[in-house]
Amino acid sequence: MDRKECTKCGGLGYREWKGFVAKDGTEYPTEVKPCPFCRGEGLFDPIDEAEIRRAIINRSSDRIRASKPTKGGDRAYYVWRLARFHGGKDVTMPITALTLIEGDPFQADLEELAQRVAVEEFGTDMVAARRWGRALGYIN
């Protein structure tokens, strides 16, 4: 799998914020800054499933960690948090996890991995879907 372009900057590595004049007359110039999502790289490396699994699985119990992983970065946290969400261990909305990988073109792959981990660890990846489906009126 090859590297992919950041979905926020289109692989440029920077973002441009157009200047404007505020109602009070204050002028704000156009700014070009490194893309905060890809950290100015423009590209994302493919996911390393083995590395993510090492970060989220407790070596002593061979089960998913109870607390957030300290290694593996944002992607490991995302998979860990979404696996717990889908598996019903923590069904509050995983907003932090979603914001941490914003711009990552491999988000669908990370989501798929999280669902697989949820099934492996909790036997299902549908607990949160059922709970939120009922809460939002999609399921009776």
Contact 8, 38 (CB under 8 A): yes
| Residue percentage of the chain with pLDDT more than 90 | 91
* Same domain membership, residue 124 and residue 93: yes
- The position carrying tokens 């717990």 is 84
Contact 32, 12 (CB under 8 A): no
Residue 140 belongs to some domain of the structure: no
Tens-digit pLDDT profile for residues 52-108:
999 999 999 999 999 999 999 999 999 999 999 999 999 899 999 999 999 999 999
List the beta strands (DSSP E) in 35-80. 43-44, 57-58, 63-64
Confidence category of residue 140, pLDDT binned at 50, 70, 90:
confident
User: How many domains would you assign to the chain?
Assistant: 2
Residue 22 belongs to domain spanning: 4-43
* Same domain membership, residue 74 and residue 104: yes
pTM for the structure as a whole: 0.88
Q: In whole angstroms, what is the distance from residue 51 CA to residue 53 CA?
A: 5
Tens-digit pLDDT profile for residues 124-138:
999 999 999 999 999
